[in-house]
Amino acid sequence: MRTISLMLILLASVPQEDGVTVTGVVKLKGDPPKSKNIKIACPPCAKLYPQGMSREDLVVNSEGAIQGAFVYIKTGLEGKKYAVPETPAVVEMKGCRYEPHVVGLRAGQKLRFRNQDPHNHCVHALAFVCKEMNVALIPGGEFEKTLEKPEVMIRLKDDVYPWMSGWIGLVDHPFFSVTGPDGKFELKGLPPGKYTVEVWQEKCAPTTQNLEVGNKGSTVEFALELKKE
């Protein structure tokens, strides 16, 4: 299979009182693989996508930037404790998709699922470290769950609609981000130090690299390869 690489550029800013902000962009090196839209058999969903539903497992814009990559500090924060947000993260079933497709949150933070479609859905989280869950939701229904242990990544699926898929990145600190449509991300307030940062993208093998934060203008590049099928 042809190898495709991703390039991740991290830029560490000048230290602030509460740490530094690491910003970056995830890009695809080379042309993205061709993919066909997903054919939808369910009538209520098929009406929304008469030409088929676009895939979400590798979304690349015209400039090669990748949406939906999960970037987080993997090592270097051992022994440090950070308050868990009281506001829940939210995943919606909307337009026969999980939105967002990739969500990041803290271990111990509440995760709220909300069905915005006019038909039933189910939330099946294929966790290994955390407990697996499978919950049905009627239209307008909500379900809230607290996942206590870090796990990267947890797959979401809908047993009724097999094309529906999503991912949960669960970490024990606030230094994580999901790349937007422009491929950009930021990690705010990171204390100066030495870290291992990991980039996860569902079509590629996870890749890690060391990063030293605290020097103005430091950069690091990542190259990810497609998983072998």
pLDDT of residue 221: 65
Q: How many domains does the chain have?
A: 2
Query: 179 and 152 in one domain?
Result: no
Q: Which domain holds residue 193?
A: 1-82+175-229
Query: 147 and 220 in one domain?
Result: no
- Three-state helix/strand/coil letters over the chain: CCCCEEEEEEEECCCECCEEEEEEEEEEECCCCCCCCECCCCHHHHCCCCCCECCCCCEECCCCEEECCEEEEEECCCCCCCCCCCCCEEEEEECCEEECCEEEEECCCEEEEEECCCCCEEEEEECCCCCCEEEEECCCCEEEEECCCCEEEEEEECCCCCCCEEEEEEECCCCEEECCCCCEEEEEEECCEEEEEEEECCCECCEEEEEEECCCCCCCEECCCECCC
Query: 55 and 119 in one domain?
Result: no
pLDDT of residue 16: 42
pLDDT of residue 216: 56
Query: 140 and 207 in one domain?
Result: no
Question: What CATH number is associated with residue 157?
Answer: 2.60.40.420
Query: 40 and 119 in one domain?
Result: no
Question: What CATH number is associated with residue 61?
Answer: 2.60.40
Query: 71 and 142 in one domain?
Result: no
Query: 214 and 227 in one domain?
Result: yes
Q: From first to last of its 229 residues, what are the pLDDT tens digits of the chain?
A: 444 444 444 445 444 446 788 888 888 777 888 888 988 877 888 888 988 899 999 998 888 888 999 999 999 999 999 999 999 999 999 999 999 999 999 999 999 999 999 989 999 999 999 989 999 999 999 999 999 999 999 999 999 888 899 999 999 999 999 999 998 888 888 888 899 989 999 998 888 888 888 755 455 667 777 777 6
Query: 93 and 58 in one domain?
Result: no
pLDDT of residue 229: 65
pLDDT of residue 157: 94
Residue ending a domain, among 172, 196, 218, is 172
